[in-house]
Structure 1
Amino acid sequence: MTQPVGKEVRYSTKTKRVLHILLKVIVTVVIAILLFIAIVYTVNKISSHSEQKRLEPYGQHVSVDGKQMNVFIQGQGVETVVILPGYGTAAPALDFKPLISELIPYYKVVVIEPFGYGLSDQTQKERSTANIVSEIHEALQSLHVDRYILMAHSISGLYSLDYVNQYPNEVSAFIGLDSSVPSLSEQKVDSSVTKPIKWFRNLGFARLQLKLGADPYDGLPYDEQTKEQLNILIRKNMYNTTQLNEAVSMYSNFKAGERLAFPPNLPVLFFVQANHPVTDQWLPEHEKQIEDSVHGEMVLLDAGHYLYRSHPKEISKKIRDFTGDIKIKN
């Protein structure tokens, strides 16, 4: 027995009605998403334009590989300390300000802002350790800085391992600020991963991400004007192409660094966070790096990865003691 036609028509009409409502819901959701994206994009463009007008230049530019690299110099000390930033530090010269303030009564301090950082240009050149080291050295040569203590935070510790071996007659000592160790490699990042990140940045969602996150400088010794400038440069440099390219090169840079060691006669001082949140090998691997050093020392701090922000006085005092001991022994 066949089903009555009238019933089929009713079912068909009901199905069409449901599909129509579903389609309207989907269209509404899509429009809402597109509107949200448009608002985020517009707010980011307007805010970025406004922030550029409020950005206050600092330091000086030197020509490196045909581009402009920003460097910041303060202090009149006989010895020079050259500071290199960790990965993604938006404005190194401002970020290191608490430590710089503690060091400049005793040292001449030079902060290098590599390409893609602070007020420096970006570059399309591969972010290999060799290229980064060459660019830093070229900047220092332009400034006629030819004898100095090299201080590096995080990933710059990896680059510095290559640097001190290439220029042993220039570097008088190395100071690591929770510096990276080649044996504790970062995960491999494929270049295809960076494409959606660029979209995320270009559409303005990086700004939204920062807005929803915690203030990394809250409660730390930074004045309001410095914090404002830092936040402007964080939004300017976050996920820029040069830094994303550096992330892609990071794994191979770590692997290349495994073949290197600090020269035994180079004084090495490590400031290390006492309780690493991810690995229990952080302290042992740093100890291995200085086991053959004639003058190697490690200081543990109850701090996070950015220990120079929270413990500038302790770090400065220990550096003075350390460099004083080196003079006595030499």
Structure 2
Amino acid sequence: MKTRKRVGWMRLIRNIILSAGAILLLVMSFNGLMTRYEHKKYPAWGRYVEVKGKTMHVYTKGTKGNTIVMLPGLGTAAPVLDFEPLINELSMDNKVVVAEPFGYGWSDFTDEERTVDNIVEELRSALRQAGIEGPYTLLSHSVSGIYSMYYATKYPEEVEAVAGIDVTLPQAVEYFGESVPRMPGYMSLIAPGGLARIAAYILPSEIVPIAESGTYSAKNLKLTQILTAWKAYNSNVVNEANEIEHNIRVTQEMAYPPDLPVIIFAAEADRSKIKADGKSNITFYESQLRNVHHHKLIALKGHHYLHWMHYKRISDEVNTFLRDSLEHTGSLSDK
């Protein structure tokens, strides 16, 4: 009798596992079919260039003034869509470029490790292939602050200014005495497993930008949901997150060159984020800019993605800063 009960339970468990596996396989198959269909229905806004045998999406808008290259934060599924309001503002007076990194937006995935060196070299190659001439103003968000610092330090002749939106910088870990978080490998199954697609449609408010009504068009928000289903927490993003510690070690001794104009927009620190010793993100940025001859630090109230709400202010401040600093140094672009 006990043997029969045991066999019955084993069959039940087996059937549950087989059913769950079948459902997962169906979801993955449906997700794959939808992704291929959507790639054809919703083509990239820019052009494709070949980098290391893969295709990278490069979007440009505007034809005059300075060339501003925008670098996204970690895990921003669709950088061109995320930056669109800021792109529209800046492109009135500048040439704005977004080269979506591998694993982001309309760009391919890659097998290359997401080291700071690989990411910067891929960006440089994409800009060359797209015929985008420097020198550039690098406008980075979040973790891309590390890449901008590396780029500006290693290739100073290609960078005429740096702008940062609540950027991560190599010295932050030591300054705050914190460790670098890691992302579990199973997160890379979210997009190919179809879970990102399910989340994008069940919880759209968790996917789209937190912004005033009308800031992002209905078309943009729909595409953001779709590209999130393609790219959310994919293997490249997970690898990039887990390379942060390595990338910090590589860049820890780097600093902004004294003669490089730098403007940083920081999320205003509330009392809960100020350490007992008085340290905050504001005091950290001040320490990073201390030896930079021409710099500006602007604190703004809001989310880590400050450009969602403050795109007009950021655009105005960047334009004014570039005009003043680059005219002063004699390196204003006439493109």
TM-score interval for Structure 1 and Structure 2 normalised by the shorter chain: 0.7 to 0.9
Q: How do residues 161-180 of structure 1 correspond to structure 2 at under 5 angstroms?
A: 161-180=149-168
State whether structure 2 residue 103 is matched by structure 1 residue 103. no
The amino acid of 2:95's aligned partner reads: K
Q: 1:75–1:107: 8 Å Cα contact kept in structure 2?
A: yes
In 2, distance between residues paired with 1:237 and 1:150?
A: 24
Q: 2:207–2:228: 8 Å Cα contact kept in structure 1?
A: no
Aligned to 1:83: 70
Q: 1:165–1:262: 8 Å Cα contact kept in structure 2?
A: yes
Per-residue CA deviation, residues 74-104 of structure 1 (Å, 9 max, x unaligned), is 1122221111111122221221110011111
- Following TM superposition, by how much is the alpha carbon of 1:278 offset from its aligned partner in structure 2, in angstroms? 6.2
The amino acid of 2:180's aligned partner reads: Q
Bigger Rg, structure 1 or 2 = 1
Per-residue CA deviation, residues 34-67 of structure 1 (Å, 9 max, x unaligned), is 4543443344234324323322221112233333
In 1, distance between residues paired with 2:286 and 2:12?
A: 61
Q: 1:99–1:312: 8 Å Cα contact kept in structure 2?
A: yes
Length-normalised TM-score, structure 1: 0.85
Among 208, 211, 228, which residue is 1:216 paired with? 208
The amino acid of 2:304's aligned partner reads: H
In 2, distance between residues paired with 1:140 and 1:117?
A: 16
The percentage of counterpart residues that share the same residue type is 32
In 2, distance between residues paired with 1:68 and 1:50?
A: 18
Aligned to 2:34: 47
In 1, distance between residues paired with 2:74 and 2:134?
A: 25
State whether structure 2 residue 285 is matched by structure 1 residue 286. yes
Aligned to 1:312: 311
Length-normalised TM-score, structure 2: 0.84
Per-residue CA deviation, residues 172-202 of structure 1 (Å, 9 max, x unaligned), is 1110011112133462548xx42x3344443
Q: Which consecutive unaligned segments of at least 5 residues does structure 1 have?
A: 1-12
Q: How do residues 92-241 of structure 1 correspond to structure 2 at under 5 angstroms?
A: 92-142=79-129, 143-185=131-173, 187=180, 189=182, 193-194=184-185, 196-213=186-203, 214-217=206-209, 219-220=211-212, 221-241=215-235
The amino acid of 1:62's aligned partner reads: V
SS in 2 for 1:256: helix
Aligned to 1:7: none
In 2, distance between residues paired with 1:123 and 1:19?
A: 47
Q: 1:93–1:111: 8 Å Cα contact kept in structure 2?
A: yes
Q: 1:162–1:260: 8 Å Cα contact kept in structure 2?
A: yes
Aligned to 1:298: 297
Aligned to 2:176: none
Count residues with an aligned counterpart. Answer: 314
Q: Which consecutive unaligned segments of at least 5 residues does structure 2 have?
A: 174-178, 330-335
CA change 1:112–1:201 in 2 (3 A) is closer
In 2, distance between residues paired with 1:198 and 1:169?
A: 37
CA change 1:141–1:309 in 2 (3 A) is same
The amino acid of 2:311's aligned partner reads: P
